[in-house]
Structure 1
Amino acid sequence: MREYASPLSITIPSTGNLTDDVVTNGRDFADTVVFSRRTGDEWSDVTAAEFLDEVQAVAKGLVAAGVEVGHRVAILSKTRYEWTLLDYAIWFAGAVTVPIYETSSAEQIGWILQDSGARAIVAEGPDHLARVREARRSGDLAELQHVWSLQDNAVDVLGRLGSDISDDVLEQRRTAASPQDVATLIYTSGTTGKPKGCMLTHGNFMFELGVAVDELADLFDTDDASTLLFLPLAHVFARIIQVGCVKSRAKMGHSADIKNLVTDLGEFKPTFILAVPRVFEKVFNSASQRATADGRGKIFDRAADVAIAWSRASDGKRVPVRLRAQHALFDRLVYGKLRQALGGSCAYAISGGAPLGDRLGHFYRGIGLTVLEGYGLTETTAALSANLPDATKIGTVGRPLPGTSVRVADDGELLFRGGQVFAGYWRNDEATTEAVDRDGWFHTGDVGEVDDEGFVRITGRKKEILVTAGGKNVAPAVLEDRLRAHALIDQCLVVGDGQPFIGALVTIDRETFPAWAEQHGKTADLDTLIDDPDLVAAVQEAVDEANKAVSKAESIRKFTILPGEWTEEGGQLTPSLKLKRRVVMRESREEIEALYLG
């Protein structure tokens, strides 16, 4: 058993709650711009004083509507300024925020509202309201008393409703919560079974952000620090950045539609961003395909190789002269354009939710964007460990944050202990006991290792380890991550549990496929080319590259290209773009069986 601990480097407050940051900002930094929100075709600044006033007005409306201390209030909306406003208003009213992914089905919405006992919900628009109504018709939501809509001016409605609530009454509500009280119920994405509500306390956030903002001062604590949130705020990853920005007064913006992201980035010009690995994969693959379509594919490929080589060499602090010269040339020809696509001011990115991969980590650092990969779960208020600007080891998820310990169990499972570990699952003591042992160690379900310097490496999911008929243990994530890095491949599922060899199901990226088809003189109709020899050969090249990361016994021997897509809407992906293995295995049972016939 191996263990590593990072000592706590700061003092964590033992009183107060998350609303204190908003009050302090509004009082002591009244004119500081803390948000920039899109209004029409422009971005409008919001000062700390203005944000405090808006939060107090909405919170008074919640109090007037009968929301009591500890009541749960749900938010069902895309990522937008009002989401953050409502989150803090709910806390000011002494209540608990229950985020719901805006893509959730009526059945999923109904389960979360019922299980949490939510008293009110703020939904974004007509489509969201329709799903809430359907959930009400089909489920027992007797405790749900209020439904407001942002498109029906919920913020103004609540502001008017609370006009008679005094400042003293609101202050009593605001200060009612201590670090031990629940701030939010975040429901797991449900890759298996019904989602469980994770109880995250004010203290969990105060611990997490206290150490994270201090350790990531290069991101949060600079004069021009800013970020543009585009991940769902229902996800703990985006939520923790929101709270970190409010705490540090780093300017924050919101981008609700991924279709407008490039434009929004160009206008907002963030100094750091956060994204899941699939976003970084898409950016790389799209750039590669565009270069190929323009006849510059070989130049891009060479530029990518140089960026990766430069990053690897820089770890040793002595980059060869020839490589430096090549890097400087491609910085003018290629890298600068990629940085410009992120707004031109972005120096750092935070990646989480899944492994980024060694190659992409070096590529982005090589073009001038340091991707700080971290690791955590909903149950741990996001990050347990993270690479830092002055302590990065690409291919790992960094060292445990200060005040956090990691232990590798005898079976390889990673266990963590620290102040960010949740208070338990809502109304589910049995699941809580399974997740957190008597000594306070949280069992992550992930398998990994810790090196001599304390850097953590994730190697797979404990429950997803495949055991072949020959008794070989295979972690599918290693192969799947490598395959998804290929421009033509969208998603993949590695199979082989109890089988004589490892196989894979692959879906093709419909964004990059047309350029490949044109380059090879083929129709852009993917469905007619599933068995095309050139397409099969291209996927085989990706499989061969992925197999270099594993032993022969672990390598993919056969694969099948599927005609469809695995999407969140189709139920195969979670909102954070993780593959629901059980769903795909069930839906593709015949294709998997066909891999092993004969």
Structure 2
Amino acid sequence: MTDAQTLIENRPPSVATLFVQRVAATPEAEAYRYPVPAASGQGPDDWKSLSWSDAAERVYAIAAGLVDLGVQPEERIALASATRVEWILADLGILCAGAATTTVYPQTNAEESAYILADSESRVLVAEDAEQLAKARERRAELPNLKHVVVIDPTGVEPSDEDPEGWVVSLADLEERGNRYLATHPSAVKERVEAITAEQLATLIYTSGTTGRPKGVRLPHDNWSYMAKAIASTGLLTKDDVQYLWLPLAHVFGKVLISGQIELGHVTAVDGRVDKIIENLPVVQPTYMAAVPRIFEKVYNGVAAKARAGGAAKYKIFQWAAGVSRAYAKESQDTFRRTGKASASLGLTAKHKVADALVYAKLREAFGGRLRAAVSGSAALSPEIGFFFAGAGIHILEGYGLTESSAASFINPAEAYRTGTVGKPLTGTEVRIADDGEILLRGPGIMQGYHGLPEKTAEVLEADGWFHTGDIGELSPDGYLRITDRKKDLIKTSGGKYIAPAEVEGQFKAVCPFVSNILVHGADRNFCTALIALDEPAILGWAKENGLDGKSYAEVVAAPGTVQFIEGYVKRLNEGLQRWQTIKKFRLLPRDLDVEHGELTPSLKLKRPVVEREYKDLIESMYDGSREA
């Protein structure tokens, strides 16, 4: 048995136990950093720290407060908040009380929030602020099980005569209540943690359904304990790392990062404000960060736009450096695969050195200057964008997993990573490819099932533990997995040709630095079309230089010159595609796709049916009267 297998086999029953062990092992070490906005509202944030013992004091107070409210093991506590340090403290408090966290995205509307709270039978809601409280108040009649709402930030919360007595309390009040309870019941939290079993429900995460109601994925304590040990066993991270955590913690990808950090004991800087990422990176100076592909795409587009704004010469240098970066990364990875040592030809290495001084060094500095590795997950990263960053010294390790597999099932090995693949399975996770190409997984990270939906569970989870992911993929002889598409998203044209839209979409994102989102359509049609949303800052910068200065985004994308400009990128895309894959027609959308309109999931995945339904007329306009094959 390997060291990794031993580590995993000897895992404790819960992350709550791991947390207690971490606090005992390194009580004074720094655990979390978090921003406190300047009192004036102007100027940079002031970053504060919590040691593991500081965090434990608050976590145990929250746990004891919940126990005093009468919360029983496995009862659900909903958590509706953006990513912030209090989210983590509340989640750990819930787990240490033996209860289970139901995650709710703060962007979720009142109707769907109420559905999740009712379906999960959540007894307490931890709400970030007055806005989240208002959703619960609006639907309180539908939530007979909801006994209390705990508000993290009570600013602007007004008392309501319609609230039952004691229904709304602040997080500070809950912690104070917990400390009073611990004064008379000092072993209450310890007893709850020791009583947790591996199969006890820890988390209920509702998937962002593209159609119908979301399903609650039941993840027991053992899932997170396994993930913590499996992440540690990869050797990617150490106790000396600094993680920048901004991902939504309501999503399984963000949630799993908490488990790994507790096992390793490294520092995590927590701030979920996406608009602060660029500002925070030089301050946090992370050595490690996880992100979704859209963030890397936006950085790439931003760098390209900045170079273009610097004039033709500067843009030519950027384009040359980008080409060198990709070539260098591809050659280095290929030689590593063959020889175990990354290297490139002398000529390419010389070019790379020049490009590094001109472009790459500044890019690394923008990421804080210390970033050793970044993990990309939740959706496919365009290989060409991955190779660009790899050659520039920003090593993006793609990984793969689902809510149903506790997020992390595959990850690329550090030095041996291969752009375009999601790496190898974590120790303890089994994989096989079905006859139709579907990826099947089995192991300690797989869910118990869908909450209250045994028939839906049986559709994807076999009796012997194999989980049907719904994704199509290929395994290399040495175990690297490449995802080719979602099983349900494969397009079959009326000519009988199968097309993977995500593959075409990814190639376009690599070709066109102005794209934000793209949807390729062609199911049961005789040719493929595309809906394209442009990156607003990038295209408005182009517009300023091309006679459209002062125009709104909608006016710019409607201009014939813009359409002609983007058409050039579509033609370049088509040059690298099979005839049946090519985009014959496209339309530019009047605004970008977003979470608020329901077109993207909170983890920024495209909701194809929603977009196709919303822009049905635009799609039909591309096929009207056409007989093109």
Given the alignment of the two structures, is residue 553 of structure 1 paired with residue 576 of structure 2, yes or no?
no
Is the contact made by 1:99 and 1:234 (CA closer than 8 Å) also made in structure 2? Answer: yes
- Offset at 1:527? 2.5
CA RMSD of aligned residues (A): 1.7
- Offset at 1:501? 0.8
Is the contact made by 1:12 and 1:210 (CA closer than 8 Å) also made in structure 2? Answer: no
**1:452/1:77 CA distance change after superposition, 3 Å:** same
Matching residue of 1:318: 343
Matching residue of 2:88: 84
Give the residue type in structure 1 aligned to 2:181.
D
Is the contact made by 1:547 and 1:556 (CA closer than 8 Å) also made in structure 2? Answer: yes
Cα distance in 1 for partners of 2:558, 2:177 equals: 62
Cα distance in 2 for partners of 1:132, 1:545 equals: 50
Matching residue of 1:159: 175
- Structure having greater relative contact order (Cα 8 Å, sep ≥ 6): 1
Cα distance in 1 for partners of 2:302, 2:594 equals: 19
In the TM superposition, 1:425-464 aligns within 5 A as 425-464=450-489
Match of 2:29 among 24, 29, 32: 32
Match of 1:361 among 386, 398, 417: 386
In the TM superposition, 1:193-592 aligns within 5 A as 193-215=212-234, 217-219=235-237, 221-223=238-240, 225-295=241-311, 296-315=314-333, 316=335, 317-485=342-510, 486-523=512-549, 524-592=551-619
User: Any unmatched runs of 5+ in structure 1?
Assistant: 1-6
Deviations 1:418-454 (A, max 9, x none): 1111111111111110011122111011111111111
- Offset at 1:462? 0.9
Is the contact made by 1:26 and 1:50 (CA closer than 8 Å) also made in structure 2? Answer: no
User: Any unmatched runs of 5+ in structure 2?
Assistant: 38-44, 155-168, 336-341
Given the alignment of the two structures, is residue 63 of structure 1 paired with residue 67 of structure 2, yes or no?
yes
Given the alignment of the two structures, is residue 20 of structure 1 paired with residue 17 of structure 2, yes or no?
yes
Cα distance in 2 for partners of 1:435, 1:527 equals: 43
Is the contact made by 1:348 and 1:371 (CA closer than 8 Å) also made in structure 2? Answer: yes
Deviations 1:205-226 (A, max 9, x none): 12222122210x232x143x01
Is the contact made by 1:479 and 1:547 (CA closer than 8 Å) also made in structure 2? Answer: no
Give the residue type in structure 2 aligned to 1:462.
K
Scaled by the length of structure 2, what TM-score is found? 0.91
Cα distance in 1 for partners of 2:6, 2:22 equals: 24
Matching residue of 1:4: none
Is the contact made by 2:12 and 2:225 (CA closer than 8 Å) also made in structure 1? Answer: no
- Offset at 1:399? 1.4
In the TM superposition, 1:105-124 aligns within 5 A as 105-124=109-128
- Residue 210 of structure 2 aligns to a residue whose secondary structure is coil
Scaled by the length of structure 1, what TM-score is found? 0.95
Deviations 1:118-145 (A, max 9, x none): 00011111111112222325xx210000
Cα distance in 2 for partners of 1:527, 1:286 equals: 20
Is the contact made by 2:11 and 2:226 (CA closer than 8 Å) also made in structure 1? Answer: no
Give the residue type in structure 2 aligned to 1:197.
G
Match of 2:188 among 147, 150, 169: 169
Cα distance in 2 for partners of 1:186, 1:331 equals: 43
Cα distance in 1 for partners of 2:34, 2:588 equals: 43
Cα distance in 1 for partners of 2:51, 2:606 equals: 40
Given the alignment of the two structures, is residue 94 of structure 1 paired with residue 86 of structure 2, yes or no?
no
Deviations 1:250-272 (A, max 9, x none): 10011131222222221111101
Cα distance in 1 for partners of 2:320, 2:426 equals: 37
Cα distance in 2 for partners of 1:500, 1:199 equals: 42
- Residue 143 of structure 1 aligns to a residue whose secondary structure is coil
Matching residue of 1:3: none
Q: Which deviates the most, 121-130 or 85-94?
A: 121-130
**1:14/1:368 CA distance change after superposition, 3 Å:** closer
- Offset at 1:12? 2.5
- Offset at 1:466? 1.2
Q: Which deviates the most, 91-100 or 403-412?
A: 403-412
- Offset at 1:408? 1.4
Deviations 1:43-76 (A, max 9, x none): 2221111111111111111111111111100111
Cα distance in 1 for partners of 2:537, 2:261 equals: 33
**1:182/1:546 CA distance change after superposition, 3 Å:** farther
- Offset at 1:158? 1.0
Cα distance in 2 for partners of 1:241, 1:308 equals: 29
- Residue 570 of structure 1 aligns to a residue whose secondary structure is coil
- Offset at 1:549? 4.8
Cα distance in 1 for partners of 2:24, 2:221 equals: 21
Given the alignment of the two structures, is residue 132 of structure 1 paired with residue 136 of structure 2, yes or no?
yes
Is the contact made by 2:249 and 2:255 (CA closer than 8 Å) also made in structure 1? Answer: yes
Given the alignment of the two structures, is residue 180 of structure 1 paired with residue 199 of structure 2, yes or no?
yes
- Residue 30 of structure 1 aligns to a residue whose secondary structure is coil
Give the residue type in structure 2 aligned to 1:25.
R
Is the contact made by 2:504 and 2:581 (CA closer than 8 Å) also made in structure 1? Answer: no
Cα distance in 2 for partners of 1:28, 1:305 equals: 48
Deviations 1:461-486 (A, max 9, x none): 11111111111111111111222342
Cα distance in 2 for partners of 1:319, 1:130 equals: 59
Give the residue type in structure 1 aligned to 2:101.
T
